[in-house]
Amino acid sequence: MEGQTRTTMRRILLFLSCIILSIGNCGGPLLIRLYFLRGGNRIWFSSWLQTAGFPVIFIPLLVSYHRRRRACSDESSKSRKFFLITPFLSIAAALLGVLVGVDNYFYSYGMAKLPVSTSSLIVATQLVFTAGFAFLLVKQKFTAFSTNAVVLLTVGAVVLGLRAGSDRPAGESNKAYLLGFVMTVAAAALYGLILPLIELSYLKAKLQAVSFSLVLEFQMIMGFVGTIFSTVGMVINKDFEVIPREAREFELGVTKYYVLAVFTAIVWQFFFVGALGVISYGSSLLSALIVAVLLPVTEILAVIFYHEKFEAEKGISLFLSIWGFVSYFYGDIKNTKKDNNESSAETEMTSAPTVASTQAV
C-alpha cells in the first residue's frame, strides 16, 4: 500500500513538472524573441535573463520548509534543515551551472538571428543528442520505436538545414544567419549533454527518493552559477552601461522593457525547474521528448504573434518531428503494458507454490 502511494505521488509530481516545463518551454523563446524584435540586441543580457530569476525559487522552498516542519512533530534534525541538498549534488549543480551559462549564450545568439519557428525546430534536435549521451552516461535502453523517433527527428533537422536562409530576416547577412544556425545547433547539443549529466548526478548521489524541494535547490544553485557566468560576460561586454539607453530606445517603451525582462526571467525558471522535475521523476530522455512534443505549440504561437513565414521545409520537418513523437510514445505504451503483464505473471508464479503448500497442510 505504501509503495502504491509513493508511485501515485511520483506520477502527480511528474505531471506537475510537465505542466511547469510546458509553460517555460513555450513562453521562454517567445519572450526572448520579442526582446530582439523590438530593439533589444544584447546577447549576454538575454542569456543572463534565462537564469537570473533563480531567487523566486526561495518562495516555494520556504513554503516547503514550513510544511516539513509542521509534518515532523518530533523536531528531527531533517525537519530543522532548510536545505536538503547534499555537498556532492551542490558541486554537481555548480559545475552544470557553468554549462548552462554557456548553453544560454549559444541559444540567445541563435534567437537573435533566427525566427522562433526555425530555432524551435533546430532545438528539437536536442532529443538526438540527449538520446546519444543518455545511452553513454546512464545506459538508457532503446527500442525500435525510440530509435525510429531519433532518426525521424534527425532527418527533420537535415531537411530544415538544406533550406537554411530561406526565412532569413530582412537586413541580416547570410553569414550572420548561418552563424545563428550553427550556434543554435550547438545549444541543442550542449543541452542534450546537460540533461543526462543531471540524471547521472542523481544516480551517483544514490538517493532513496528525490523530493521536489531537492529539485528546486538543485536548480537554484545551477541558476546562481549560470547567472554569475552571464554577469561576467555582461561586464566584459559593457552591457550594464548600455541597458538604460536600450530601454529608452525600446519600441514598446521603458516600462515594458523592464516588465518584459522580469517576466522573461521568471518564465525561464519554469522551464528549468520543470525539466529538472521531469528528469527526477522520469528520465533525461523523457524531458527532451516533452520539449520536442511542445514544438508544434511554439511553432503555431510564433506564426500567430510574430507573423513568421511557415514554408514547405518547415512543414516537412514538423511532420517528421510529430511522427517521431508518436512513434516514441506508442512504443513506450506498448513496453509499459508488456512490463506490467510480465510482472503480473511473475507474481502469480511466485504466489502459486505458497497456495499449493497451504492446501497440502
Query: In the chain, where are the structural domains located?
Result: 17-338
**What is the model's pLDDT at position 76?**
53
Write the DSSP string, 40-56.
---HHHHHHHTTTTGGG
How many other CB atoms are there within 10 angstroms of residue 62's CB atom? 11
> What band does 350 get if pLDDT is binned at 50, 70 and 90?
low
Q: What is the pLDDT of residues 295-308, one digit of tens each?
A: 767 777 887 887 77
Contact in structure between 24 and 103 (CB atoms under 8 Å): no
Most confident of 240-254, 274-288, 293-307, 338-352: 240-254
What percent of the residues of the chain are helix, what percent strand, and what percent coil, each to the nearest 5? 85, 0, 15
Lowest mean pLDDT among 241-250, 268-277, 298-307: 298-307
Averaged confidence pLDDT in the chain: 81
Q: Which set of grid coordinates corresponds to residue 166?
A: 530561406
* Residue 76: CB atoms within 10 Å: 11
Q: What is the tens place of the pLDDT at every residue in 72-123?
A: 655 555 556 778 888 999 999 999 999 999 999 999 999 888 887 778 778 8
pLDDT band of 170, cuts 50, 70, 90: low
- For residue range 185-233, list pLDDT tens digits in order: 999 999 999 989 998 998 898 876 778 888 889 999 999 999 999 999 9
Burial group, residue 71, by CB count within 10 angstroms (0-12, 13-18, 19+): exposed
Q: Is the pLDDT of residue 146 over 90?
A: no
